[in-house]
Amino acid sequence: MLNLQALKTLLFTLGPLVIPRLISYYRTVRVQSQSSPLPVRPTPPYVRNALNALFLASAFALISTVPTFSPENVFNFTSSRLQTPNDVLFTRLASMRPANILSEADNILRSRLASLDGRCLYLTYGPSTVIECPFCNSDDPRSYLYYALPSIIAPHLFNLFAIGLATSSSVSGREGARWRTLATVVGVMLALLECYMFGSYDWKLNVRVIRPDDLTYFYWRMRTFRGLSIAVVDAGLAGLLWASSTNRLFALPLSSSEKLEEVTRILETTRGKLGAVGIVRNVTARNEGLRRKGESYWVKEGEVMGEVMGEREVVEGMRSALASGRISINKIEEEARNYAEGITAGGLEGVTPG
């Protein structure tokens, strides 16, 4: 297993090379996201389903690190040394059991912890492997690893299932599918890393340890590492999924089909509004009472605007603007003519005077 000194050396060697590149990449992505024409939007409903799945997977991973849900460690539970005689160890354990009676699993464990090697393997691979494995023995320490591998990989397989569900195109659309490969690779690498750490760990590390507080409970440490690492991966994937789906970071430009669909939707909405306006105008023109109200409104509007335009301050302001050249009557007439021609060009095209 990698020790602390080797880890420090690796960090000091790769850190100056990797960290500046990561910072540069983040800044580039941030600038691209800020300059993106896509507006920030709320989290789509289908992405929320993926986020809920990742939240549940992350919550289960964190709960697994709670000591209450971890398998019992008889040495920690009885505050015993690794060299404590077997009879003394299990006498202490029996005193903490209901009616001071050892369970069947305790009796099996008692026979497996008779040797110092068995106790070291217990701290390395946990109680379930030591108790349940039918072919394991301390003469072949690798046999414990082979038996423990399915229980080591199972949480990672569950996490990969949650990742696959969250990044499925049928659940989270293309926003989740774009992260599917990256998330799967990270999940697989996490599983391989844990298998490597179990396989390379020196299971005899505790042989010379005297004080109980100095014992390395490797199996229980790895449970905590597994739960925290899975939770971090799922939380990171959820963050990426949320940021990309809301166009805050890593926003994807719309495809041609999506652009066409968006334009069609806008045109349909505009057409519907224009149709509604036409119906209102038709009803207003046909109804005598509404027609009179409309005519009186425009008569009143003309009178009000006439009074406003006739005020001394307004007249002087217009004269000043015309004299200074800030307002050009010719330019206004040209713009009005172009605007009118642009509106009527489509409707009059192909129409011949009758």
- Over the stretch 96-132, which tens digit does the pLDDT of each residue have? 888 888 889 999 999 999 899 999 999 999 999 999 9
Tokens of 79: 């505050």
Tokens of 247: 């166009």
Q: How confident is the model at residue 351 (pLDDT cuts 50, 70, 90)?
A: very low
**Rounded alpha-carbon distances, angstroms, from residue 31 to 174, 175, 249:** 22, 20, 9
DSSP SS3 for 140: strand
Q: How confident is the model at residue 246 (pLDDT cuts 50, 70, 90)?
A: confident
CB-count exposure of residue 162 (10 Å: 0-12, 13-18, 19+)? buried
Q: What is the pLDDT of residues 41-91, one digit of tens each?
A: 788 888 898 999 999 999 999 999 998 889 999 999 998 999 999 999 999
Check pLDDT > 90 for residue 173: no
Check pLDDT > 70 for residue 301: yes
Q: How confident is the model at residue 348 (pLDDT cuts 50, 70, 90)?
A: very low
DSSP character at residue 254: P
Mean pLDDT of the chain: 84
- Across 287-313, b (16+ Cβ under 10 Å) vs e yields eeeeeeeeeeeeeeeeeeeeeeeeeee
Q: What is the pLDDT of residues 322-341, one digit of tens each?
A: 777 777 778 888 888 888 77
Q: How confident is the model at residue 353 (pLDDT cuts 50, 70, 90)?
A: very low
User: How long a stretch of residues is the chain?
Assistant: 354
pLDDT at res. 264: 87
DSSP SS3 for 250: coil
Q: What is the pLDDT of residues 277-300, one digit of tens each?
A: 888 888 877 888 878 887 888 888
Q: What is the mean pLDDT of residues 264-289?
A: 85
- In the chain, how long is the greatest CA-to-CA distance? 117
Given a contact cutoff of 8 angstroms between Cβ atoms, the answer to whether 131 and 112 are in contact is: yes
CB atoms within 10 A of CB 45: 7
pTM recorded for the entire structure:
0.68
* Alpha-carbon dihedral sign for residues 130, 136, 138, 142: negative
Q: How confident is the model at residue 153 (pLDDT cuts 50, 70, 90)?
A: very high
Alpha-carbon span 84 to 217, nearest angstrom? 16
Give the CA angle between residues 180, 183, 188 to the nearest 5°.
Answer: 120
pLDDT at res. 132: 92
